[in-house]
Structure 1
Amino acid sequence: MSADDRARGPAPDESMDRIWIRNLLDSADEVIYFKDLQSRFLRVSLGMARRHGLTREQCYLLTDFDLFAEEHAAAALADEQQIIRTGEPIIDIEECESFVDGSTRWVSTSKFPLRDLDGRIIGTFGISRDITRRVVAEQAMERLAERSAAASAELARVEAQLRAVLNGSSDAIAQYSPDLRYRYVNPAGERLRGMALEDLIGRTDREIVPDIPGLDAWESALREVLSTGAPREHEFSLVLHDGREGWFHTTMSPETDVSGAVVGVLTSTRDVTQAKLAERALAHQAMHDPVTGLANRYLLMDRLGQAMLRLERHSGRVALVFIDLDHFKTINDSYGHEVGDEVLVELARRLSSVGRREDTVARLGGDEFVMLCENIAGDADLHDLAARVVATLSEPFAVGNGLQLALSASVGVSVTSDPHARPADLLRDADTAMYRVKQHGRNGYHLFDDSADRENDDHLQLAAELQHAVERGQLTLAYQPLLSLSDQRLLGFEALLRWRHPSRGTLLPAEFLPTAERAGLMGQIGAWVLDAACARLAAWTRHAPRDDAPLSMAVNVSGSQLRSGGFVDQVRGALAAHGIAPSALRLEIGERELIHDDPRIESTLSALGAMGVQLVVDDFGASVTSLARLPRIPVSVVKLARFADLGQREVVAAVIATAHGLGMSVVGGGIEDAEQLAQLSALSCDDGQGFLLGRPLDEAGAERLLHGARAVPT
């Protein structure tokens, strides 16, 4: 051997090839294999055998179908047969191997044709490297990127939605920094402040409008939220750019960072002007007569009480002038309530013009008015005032379509200088004096004389006659229909008391019940009404078809009845005696009975509600106080007073909405024309009563109505 041959080393031979292949197959962790033309394993690396839990000898002549899932094995066979046909290798293919046991792994595979020394293809060989970790990491990164993209898209969507909400909100929303400078204002906030966003950012309210009323309270509220971290409410009024006064309610909330530290204040301001106006209208309604706009009984008695307190500090005299329009009922009966209301409005105007600016003119109800006068010097002043009242009301009333109505008034006057006199007694004395005028022909005035008037009080005679009215069968009931406004279906009746007086004719409740109340006869009369109404309802129920909806019967109840200890037992006894379901009986309580907290009345109402009787608040709508008490008493139904001015739509709507919100149904009372009916129906009033829907009927008339209603198919 030459020196050059020795330098190059030994020439490769077949034995060396076997050494290299064995070392490669024994040492490599990769999967290395040689296959024949049928894709059977001839030689495999130790790494491959271990991968499958076999020895190399056990792998001999196995196929991929022995080691892998069928789908993967079929794909590998197809690749190898293609290599055998074409002689083209497959280089660096990344694929997922699936095993018979369901496990998988990712590999990077290269496959080549296996040739003999003459270059003929005698099989295939290949090498696979496990890349599962890398693929899993890449897949995790892809999922993370997808989630990040989705989160970014969601954030963009939420931001767009929030922007749309802020831009479209009618509430003025602003963001304040700790030093009370604007960071953000939405379009509604720009409109409220009358400035563009760029003119507000970075500035304080004090810098923008330094002398605006209420600014100190506003800044104090913002600083309170910053210091306490607690939200708060703030209400304020503002003169708007068009000169109108606006009312606003603001919710102030702390803005915090991730650590919870307060870094600003978010404010949301809502225009509550309409709600304030409705609230004021309700407050005015509570103390004023809806027809004339004068003070009502509640406001009169409050001012009278204040006047009596002033007498304790300064001596003087307080007078009440009680005015009752003569024969006013004839006006209503002949020309209708619309003309009657015109007369009342004109009467109110005339009384206001007669009185002094400091006098209070009030309407008690119906055609009864009262003037409260303080600082009366002497009786001559009272005579002069009363005479002027009689004179101004005797002048013709121009109403309706050219009507000229000649009317007159009976006027009674009471006066006191005693600061301890009871306001109710002073009003009673003026009422008594007024009745003296009616006894002597009307159209005049009379000053109350304690010694003479009490003996001749007409109420005493009426009270004496009332004591015998029940036993002599002079009391009777009329029945006014109650209809559903949605479908005009008959729901029941209200029992209305009438007194067939032997000499005065048929008297309505307003003509004798005040006397009965003062004489302590309401318990006796009320018991008769309750029993008679239940008896009539029982008779109608017995003769009604079985599939008819049950009728209800409404009975009016006075405050004295509710305060009496035995009224609950009386109701229970009447229901049991006539077999009436408690839910079929409606007890109507006048709104004024709910004005004062009377534990006796509240206890009675609770017991009746627990019994299942329907409780109705009658003539509702004139008192915010009673509105506030509604959630505390078991009331089923609210019955609206006759609203003469349905132009006060927001007041009526507020009453109906409040009642519905408390789960009560609403009855519209005194419906006399189609406009009232349409307005109440539009405001979702449930049921209704009034001359338009049905006048009070006697027993026979009510039965004819019942038979007619049952004949109409539903």
Structure 2
Amino acid sequence: MPLKCDNSIAEALQIMTRHALSSVVVVDNEYHPVGIFTEHDALDVVAQHLSTSLALQEVMSENLFCVHESMHLYNAYILLENRGYRHLVVVDESDRFVGVLNEGDFLRQIGSEYIANSKEVRSVMSTAPIQIKSTMLISQAATMMRSKGAHCAVVLYDDGDKRLLQEHDISQYCVSSAWDPATTLGELKQSDFEPISQCMSLKKAAAMMEQNDARQLVVIDEQQRIVGLLKRNNVLKAIHGEYFNFLVDIIDKKSTDLMRIYENKKLLRDVINTIPDLIWLKDSDGKYVTCNNRFERFYHAKESDIAGKDDFDFIDSQQAAHYREQDQDVLRQQQALHYKEHLSFADGSYKGLFHIIKTPMRNDRGELIGVLSIARDITELHRQEDSLRRIDHDFNEAQALAHIGSWSLDPSKALLQWSDECYRIFNIEIGTSIDYARFLQCVHSEDREYVDRAWNAALQGAPYSVEHRIVVGDDIRWVRERAKLQFDDQGALQAAVGTVQDITKHKLYEEELEHLANYDALTGLANRSFLLSHLQKSIHMATRNHRIIALLLFDLDHFKDVNDSLGHTVGDELLQRVAQRFTERIRKGDLITRLGGDEFAIVLEHITRREDAAQVAQEMMAVLAEPYCLSNKLEVHIGSSVGIVIAPQHSSNAEELLQFADTALYKAKSEGRSTYSYYTDELTSTARERMQCENRLRRAIGNEEFELYYQPQVHIKSNRIIGVEALLRWNDPELGLISPNRFIPLAEETGLISDIGKWVLFEACKQGKQWLDQGYNLHVSVNVSAHQVHYQDLPKLLDAALKESGFNAEKLTLELTESAMMRREEEIVTMLHALRAKGIRLAIDDFGNGYSSYS
């Protein structure tokens, strides 16, 4: 409860004793605080032997500090500590007395629960209290405590007893009937105290203070010596920690600096004018108080012309009202507010974006007196930020186009910083916190161990470059990751950066290319390339495990006739049906491939006898020989021939093995087709001879090694030569004359018969013309092969031969085999009519026998 200035010291001490107060506030008639009398002031009364009947205005402290009741408790404590007071006087909006705050109030409100359990008393305690003997006079003790600024002292008795003398002990004695300045401390009632160990938890000590309402605790060491004093202020500082002390130091430093500045107004003006920011101060009514030179440019006016005026005197009312509203917000909220404004200087010299800080200004009594504002030009900064945002946006766009995301790792936080594209690739919401464990969850379960192993290897210095799958919803994606890690001298990870690229399309394309490279487009079976690769691996495994494998090479008998007579569409469908039968009948682990055309190959694994291959060949030949019902209602029958080779018996090389199988197949076909044949060394010799013959045959065409012999055709009755038949001979420069039955079948098989037949036609027509010119009226007969009939434009070829030679078409006879006429009948009939129309004679002959007769 407050007192008036004319109340006596005795009255104040009685109230303080009765209500256990450490102070009383003195107010005027309007209840405004004008002074404060504390227990510490009571020390002066005793020390100076003052009469307790004196009025309070004679001894009270007028240097009191008032705060408004709306102030935050924390801010109030900062002021208490900053000013070095033990009491704060609380007033209302009309500055009338409301109450008093002391350190005990702050401690009870803030609490000690935030003190670390490990913090000990000795880390925060003050120096040891003064120690005085019990024989000292009370007045002397009060003088000593006053001079040393001590609020308590330890009294030492002759019998070794110790008591704690506190300010309130002296103030209470002043109002007792036994009060006498000459009284010794031994005669004064003092407080017992329970010392605490310097090793005690500060949290526990603070609880003791709060429980016992103790203002201080005496601290002893292990030898029971008094080494310090724990005060409420020590505990409060500990609660706020080092940060609080730092703030206090800063406040003290700023206060000192401001005092120096205020002491030197010229220095203050120089400093303010040196700052490139706009600085101005307005009072609470919005009137300008002062400004710096930079702000003078803003309104194009001197400070003397600006002071005392408001914004309405310089700018339009709408903008002025806007600034006024900002200032009022600062005063209402009593805290600094930040704004961004585009400001144009009145002289038109500059326009830019400014960051403005407006903060409430107070006087020494804590009263709001106006608003201090600082405006900093951030135009260039804003431009740079926009540029960085554009760069960041462009970077994210580029990453999105390339499907490449980037990331970085801060080992101290164990968190991955992902770019937007990384989040998009993994289909995770942008901004989601990602650590290594969360990343691994996204990796496909079959790849997780591989990725983790690669990362751990990278932590040991290995390069990090991996391709793996990730699970994105119901989809599987492929990503390629690369990273660069940085280590310190001890090998500890300092940082890591990397990229993630979505390569799903690339992987699918690779798989498609691999499929195209290894599989037949028509049947879906593996192709020759895949066969050779698989066969070589199988040979290697069989050799290592002392087993055998078999390669079966199938060729469809007379498949060419199907293509020629029914068309390629039917032929393709037939190949697909054949492939289906192969697939349905082969064993698991065996391989079926299409080598091209009508050739198929089977690799038989895990066979124990050579005969097993023949059994499979027979079974498969029987399956393939069954009729095929095609989509156009056609029923097609087709047989097959098989060449069989055993590995590693015949060869350990896949290419060579396939060549041997082809040789065995040729033998099977030469034996009448629809059968199988095993490869032997003798077959290789025959195949080599056949290959040499083919090479010689090709060379013979260019080297003009062919000759025509003409067999006369004699009229039996007249015994007169009426014509000749052209007979072909091959005169090899090394082997001499070669029998037609050796080279004609080979020429038909290789297609060389077309070039040979053309030469025969031109040469025979040429010779026939020469005989006619010499007066010999002879017919010339020429054999035409089935290959020429089916695959050459025979009418066009004959036109060219007759035109070049000048031979009469009516003197030319073409001999065709019956088999050549039985295929593609409609086309053949049309062609024959065209030849007859030219006057050319036609004859049916067994082309094979005719050539056989060349010998």
TM-score by length of 2: 0.34
Structure 1-normalised TM-score? 0.41
For the pair shown, the structure with the greater C-alpha radius of gyration is 2
